[in-house]
Amino acid sequence: PAADRAPAVVIGSGYGAAVAALRLGQAGVRTVVLEMGRLWDTPGPDGKIFCRTIEPDQRSMWFRNRTEAPLSTFLWLDVVNRRIDPYPGVLDRVAYGDMSVYVGRGVGGGSLVNGGMAVTPRRDYFSEVLPQVDAAGMYETYFPRARRMLGVNDVDQAWFESTEWYRFSRVSRKHAHRAGLGTVFVPNVYDFDYMRREAAGEVPKSALAGEVLYGNNHGKRSLDKTYLADALATGKVTIETMSRVRAIRREAGGGYVLTVERSDDTGRVVETKEIGCGRLFLGAGSLGTTELLLRARETGALPDLHPEVGQGWGHNGNVMTARANHLWDTVGARQSTMPVLGIDDWNNPVHPVFAEIAPLPMGLEHWISLYLAITKNPERGAFVYDAATDSAKLNWTRSQNEPSVDAARSLFDRLNRANSTIYRYDLFGGNRVFADDFTYHPLGGCVLGRATDGYGRAKGCPGLYVVDGSLVPGSIGVNPFVTITALAERNMERIIQEDLAA
């Protein structure tokens, strides 16, 4: 048996993990959260916790010599990325050949780096993707609970219509409407009252100072300020940072033993220890959770894990693209980093698309309309365990993006035709118009009802639970964190009732 023991361990501290930690703590279960990244609460030499997006330093990315931003060039010039010192920075880009996946690292996971868009999926599409989940319960109880807990709010529409900070959104909306396309307002977890005070010059700027991607110093209700703060306040939950789980095995007499490596800021492993637990909750995200379980199954540590572990991965059909506007359609040098509008063409019978109107705050007028399109792509990838590197490799080929690129092209060709505009060729490298080589929305790998039962209990391993985005089968049609949170609320409620009561 391991020297350290806790009744429950949660791996990771993103959305699923944070829900698990809070609900376990409230149920009176002593819980240890293990997070491989830092706790982001201490200002650096410049007085700020996070670095600026346009002036990245070591805090920006996870052990890199150079930043790897999604937009690599501007006017074909290599001006976006910077040399940095290796450090446990907040954003990671995990490369699997043709597909790179952006993920957050630190206490709060993706909530530290993301754009805060808090979108509830369409009910009909939710039911199509997760038919075994009772939609009535989700839409009446768990989605509202998740939105309340996450602090979701809406931009004031009168302010939106008048402020220079959302001119870029209004210009894109006008162009969409000209093409006969509908737009919708999208809620966010960024505090819009705070943003208005930023605009009025009353408080330090964050969203209005170009901050996103490498963290927000103010305004954003990331998980460390919501679920995880509440979890710690139960007095039952502790969080261990810079602690990466490497291996999981069964403990004699039930329960699990984890091998955990603790590192310093140079990345050097300073301690390797074992922690035992009665119940284990995997919230390391689609990539992290799937890799841990795949490794456990393939090395023979947990041979009873289901063959579906590793299957059913998708990127939510993500494609990024940009249009060049006419000189009279200025998008503004000043742009809020928090998106609030989407083009909703999900009813399109051939090419459903939900495209977020994304900011590109560069502090100068650039006439660019940027979009992150979410498309309905039926292709799925699978992870395989590579013994030589002891890691999971994603099988995903470039050709699997074709349905996404076709859908995005259909929508944005229509927008360009209606407005006599063209695409931008200078932003993604290689004169490409569609950036289909990365995603912000990794989903699947341990799909609900296949690798697990209908509530995230891993098949073949009693007391082992999956709580994060790896449960969602590859697509959800909108930005995913509200769904991941609501699903975790639903599953944790059931697990605590049925499995922990005894």
DSSP state of 131: T
Active site amino acids = 356, 441
Q: Which of residues 2-21 bind ligand FDA (CB under 6 A)?
A: 11-17
Pairing of strands 464-466, 269-282: parallel
Instruction: Tell me the site size for ligand FDA, rule CB under 6 A.
Output: 40
Element (H, E) at 9: strand 4-11
* C-beta closer to ligand FDA: residue 210 or 288: 288
Q: Which of residues 454-473 bind ligand FDA (CB under 6 A)?
A: 468-469
Which one of residues 40, 50, 87, 102 is an interface residue with ligand FDA (CB under 6 A)? 102
* C-beta closer to ligand FDA: residue 106 or 314: 106
* C-beta closer to ligand FDA: residue 103 or 458: 103
Question: CA–CA separation, 471 vs 461, rounded Å?
Answer: 16
Structure tokens at 481: 């964190």
Residue 114 contacts residue 215 (beta carbons within 8 Å)? no
Please give the span between the terminal C-alpha atoms of the chain, in angstroms, as a whole number.
23
CB of 464 to ligand FDA, least distance (A): 15
* C-beta closer to ligand FDA: residue 380 or 414: 380
Q: Is the C-alpha dihedral spanning 481, 124, 358, 290 positive or negative? A: positive
* C-beta closer to ligand FDA: residue 154 or 365: 154
Candidate ranges 24-32, 114-122, 165-173, 319-327; the one touching ligand FDA (CB under 6 A)? 114-122
CB of 12 to ligand FDA, least distance (A): 3
DSSP state of 316: T
Which one of residues 480, 487, 489, 492 is an interface residue with ligand FDA (CB under 6 A)? 480
Which one of residues 23, 52, 105, 170 is an interface residue with ligand FDA (CB under 6 A)? 105
Question: CA–CA separation, 207 vs 221, rounded Å?
Answer: 12
Q: Is 115 among the residues that bind ligand FDA (CB under 6 A)?
A: yes
> At a CB cut-off of 8 Å and minimum separation 6, what does 78 contact?
72
CB of 283 to ligand FDA, least distance (A): 5
Candidate ranges 109-117, 120-128, 163-171, 192-200; the one touching ligand FDA (CB under 6 A)? 109-117
Question: CA–CA separation, 105 vs 111, rounded Å?
Answer: 9
Which one of residues 213, 302, 476, 487 is an interface residue with ligand FDA (CB under 6 A)? 213
Question: CA–CA separation, 31 vs 238, rounded Å?
Answer: 7
Picking from 280, 259, 257, 288, the residue whose alpha carbon sits closest to that of residue 271 is: 259
Of all residues in the chain, what percent are helix, strand and coil, respectively (each to 5)? 25, 25, 50
Question: CA–CA separation, 500 vs 237, rounded Å?
Answer: 16
Q: Is 192 among the residues that bind ligand FDA (CB under 6 A)?
A: no
Which one of residues 36, 171, 341, 374 is an interface residue with ligand FDA (CB under 6 A)? 36
CB of 336 to ligand FDA, least distance (A): 13
DSSP state of 443: B
CA neighbours closer than 13 Å in the CB half-sphere of residue 264: 4
Question: CA–CA separation, 34 vs 11, rounded Å?
Answer: 5
Which one of residues 8, 32, 37, 206 is an interface residue with ligand FDA (CB under 6 A)? 37
Q: Is 481 among the residues that bind ligand FDA (CB under 6 A)?
A: yes
* C-beta closer to ligand FDA: residue 463 or 480: 480
* C-beta closer to ligand FDA: residue 187 or 332: 187
Structure tokens at 275: 């922690």
CB of 243 to ligand FDA, least distance (A): 6
CB of 167 to ligand FDA, least distance (A): 20
Which one of residues 88, 109, 332, 381 is an interface residue with ligand FDA (CB under 6 A)? 109
Question: CA–CA separation, 497 vs 458, rounded Å?
Answer: 17
> At a CB cut-off of 8 Å and minimum separation 6, what does 401 contact?
319, 377, 379, 436
Question: CA–CA separation, 329 vs 336, rounded Å?
Answer: 18
* C-beta closer to ligand FDA: residue 286 or 475: 286
Which one of residues 25, 288, 332, 381 is an interface residue with ligand FDA (CB under 6 A)? 288
Q: Which of residues 438-457 bind ligand FDA (CB under 6 A)?
A: 440-441
DSSP characters over 331-356:
--S---SS--EEEEETT-SS--EEEE
* C-beta closer to ligand FDA: residue 214 or 421: 214
Q: How far is CA 448 from CA 129, 466, 491, in A?
A: 10, 9, 10
Which one of residues 31, 72, 114, 336 is an interface residue with ligand FDA (CB under 6 A)? 114
Residues of this chain that interact with ligand FDA (CB under 6 A) are 11-17, 34-37, 102-106, 109-110, 113-117, 213, 244-245, 283-286, 288, 292, 440-441, 468-469, 479-481, 484
